Amino acid sequence: MFIERKFPNTRLRRLRRNNNLIDLVSETSLTSNDLIQPIFIKENLNGSEEIETMPNIFRYGIEKALKEIEDIKNSGINSIAVFPVIDTANKDSKGSQAANSNNFVSTAIKAIKKEFPDIILIADVALDPYTDHGHDGVIINNEVDNDETIKILIEQSLILADSGADIIAPSDMMDGRIGLIRNALEQNSYKNTILLSYAAKFNSKFYGPFRDAVGSASSLGKSSKYSYQMSSKNKEEALHEVAMDINEGADIIMVKPAMPYLDIIHLIKDSFKIPTFAYQVSGEYSMLKLSINKGWLESEVMLESLISIKRAGADAIFSYAAKEISMEMQNK
């Protein structure tokens, strides 16, 4: 495919002489449609509170969350991912609240969809907001038990679908859960609920600030999620994870984190050619944002980071900077 190109017949700089030319031949574009804003909503909170390890990001009480979602919509973003922060009093070893149809997240989703029926609402499926040990599943004989966890995830999924979530996103990394959740959705008349599987989710220290944000960091302590999340050393295994989840009924698959895993995003998009999302996670966001706030890096690094994720092959990106970047793009 490559033809030999030689100077001076070819001067690649001809196409870089000004920004209009550069834009005209650019291979990648990023628009507000490609961005998803994660939002933390906290049970029993009035107003909002800052998250220390995530500059400019807040936990919102439900009323304040509705105002924030209005802002997100006005920035041009149409998709949000809600992450609940649950009262310690409502956590237990089995994450029982996840399977309570009147739990906080289901009330919040109903309130959001009532006010913003068109917004695409993505809800996480995993037990970590609800467990007092901070793991994504139930612990039996000192292990996060795959099959017992899935039983609860199915109930959680049906509740989220029933509350009005457009997309449910299992981020728990249990084996076989996509097929069983898909089956339960089909059997309970939620045939249009979209499954976004966190298929290639790596065991990453870049999740640190998120765990502070939802309060699972202190519960987890020194405990790690290595027995269910993938090792950062593996690439072929990511292909198997994705292949299984597609076969089991996933509509969209996710790679997470994003920036340290651009090779995985590229490989998966190239191999499977299905909608592929990437999550620029809390640690990726915080390291950039802190440096920007300190004046160590220029603010354009945020957009550059998102473009790199898009260029790698992501169709859409979860990013804490989504609203801000979308506003900047609108004002241009």
Interacting residues with ligand PBG (CB under 6 A): 124, 126, 128, 136, 171-172, 207, 210-211, 225, 281-282
Q: Give the shortest CB-160-to-ligand PBG separation in angstroms.
A: 13
Q: How far is it, in rounded angstroms, from Cα 199 to Cα 248? A: 11
Nearest to 230 by CA among 254, 200, 192, 258: 200
231 CB-contact burial (10 Å; exposed 0-12 / middle 13-18 / buried 19+): exposed
Q: Give the shortest CB-307-to-ligand PBG separation in angstroms.
A: 19
Q: Which is nearer to ligand PBG, 190 or 198 (CB)?
A: 198
The residue sitting closest to ligand PBG, measured at its beta carbon, is 210
Q: Which is nearer to ligand PBG, 15 or 321 (CB)?
A: 321
Q: Please, are residues 135 and 223 in contact by the beta-carbon 8 Å criterion?
A: yes
Q: Which is nearer to ligand PBG, 188 or 287 (CB)?
A: 287
Q: Give the shortest CB-179-to-ligand PBG separation in angstroms.
A: 19
Task: Kindly report the number of other CB atoms within 10 A of residue 260's CB atom.
Answer: 14
What residues are labeled active site?
201, 256
User: CB-based contacts of 11: which residues, under 8 Å, 6+ apart?
Assistant: none
Q: How far is it, in rounded angstroms, from Cα 75 to Cα 330? A: 7
Q: How far is it, in rounded angstroms, from Cα 221 to Cα 224? A: 8
Q: Which is nearer to ligand PBG, 188 or 290 (CB)?
A: 290
Q: Give the shortest CB-4-to-ligand PBG separation in angstroms.
A: 45
CA distances from 156 to 126, 169, 258, 263, 282 (A): 8, 11, 26, 32, 24
